[in-house]
Amino acid sequence: MSEKALAHLNEALQHLFTLTGYSDKDPEILASHRETTHQWTETIVQAFYDTLFTYEPTAKIFNEGERPTREQMLRDWYEGLTCGNIDQNWWRHQWFVGLVHVKRGVSNLFLIGMMSRIQQLFLDKCLETLPPDEAKELFGAFKRITDVVTGLIADGYFENYFIALERTVGFKTALIQRMLDMEVNKMLEEWRNTTAA
Ligand code: HEM
């Protein structure tokens, strides 16, 4: 990973921690409930892939026979997260998922929709299983961490897309940025003129 990309990632992480209200206490809260939350793994994993495999635009992303490998990946991701095994490398890996998603055509719309689905399932389980105060505390920690993950994957998708473009076309970011700014202004103007009509 280049120094520039690393600096960008650290800054993105800082923004997301501050704005979501994430703290190092959150992984500890998750860890303290891991025996309970690991019993929910299969419900979450099966609901995740049943949703993706029964919706044509997402089903077509997967190759024939790929489901077991993808399920195992989500199981590992969920169990790592709910064990509270969250360090700098783990956060960096989430950013890198954005690049993997670019390669496989997994848009951020799909990512955001499915993270919402996981959060709702997790909330239902918390409310069914725990007294209200504990459910609120556990869900709050899970929500903040998974929202930071969504932000990182989405940012990794956009940023790496841009870096790939820069590397392919050979332009410098500052030049692309100036050209984009001009085009964005034009597009905003067009949009305002159309909506005002
Ligand atoms: C909660 C949302 C999601 C999370 C947390 C997530 C997480 C991950 C992770 C950890 C990887 C492995 C990256 C690596 O190689 O190290 C990955 C890869 C992948 N994900 Fe996602 N993902 C999410 C949503 C989706 C959705 C909605 C789709 C499909 C519509 C999808 C399809 C894939 C595919 C096809 C791969 C690539 C596997 C490969 O070629 O190696 N993911 N994702």
Contact 154/111 with Cβ under 8 angstroms?
A: yes
CA 133 – ligand 1 centroid, Å: 32
Q: What is the DSSP string of 71-122?
A: HHHHHHHHHHHHTT---HHHHHHHHHHHHHHHHHT--HHHHHHHHHHHHHHH
Atom 24, ligand 1: which residue's CA is nearest? Answer: 111
CA 100 – ligand 1 centroid, Å: 7
Convert 4-16 to b/e letters by CB count within 10 Å (16 or more is b). ebeebbeebbeeb
Ordered mean pLDDT values, 10 residues apiece, the chain (197 residues): 88 97 97 98 98 98 97 97 94 94 96 98 98 98 98 94 84 83 94 83
Pocket of ligand 1 (CB under 6 A): 52, 58, 61, 73, 77, 97, 100-101, 104, 106, 110-111, 114-115, 118, 149
What is the reported pLDDT for 184?
94
Could you tell me the pTM of the whole model?
0.93
What is the reported pLDDT for 95?
94
What is the reported pLDDT for 109?
98
Cα 190 to the center of its chain, rounded Å: 32
Q: Cα separations (Å) of 95 from 120, 121, 126?
A: 23, 24, 27
Contact 156/95 with Cβ under 8 angstroms?
A: yes
Which atom of ligand 1 is the closest one to the Cα of 110? 27
Domains of the chain: 3-170 (1.10.490.10)
What is the reported pLDDT for 171?
76
What is the reported pLDDT for 12?
96
What is the reported pLDDT for 195?
78
CA distance 26 to 187: 42
CA 184 – ligand 1 centroid, Å: 31
CA 188 – ligand 1 centroid, Å: 33
Atom 43, ligand 1: which residue's CA is nearest? Answer: 97
3-state secondary structure of 52: helix
What is the reported pLDDT for 197?
62
CA 193 – ligand 1 centroid, Å: 40
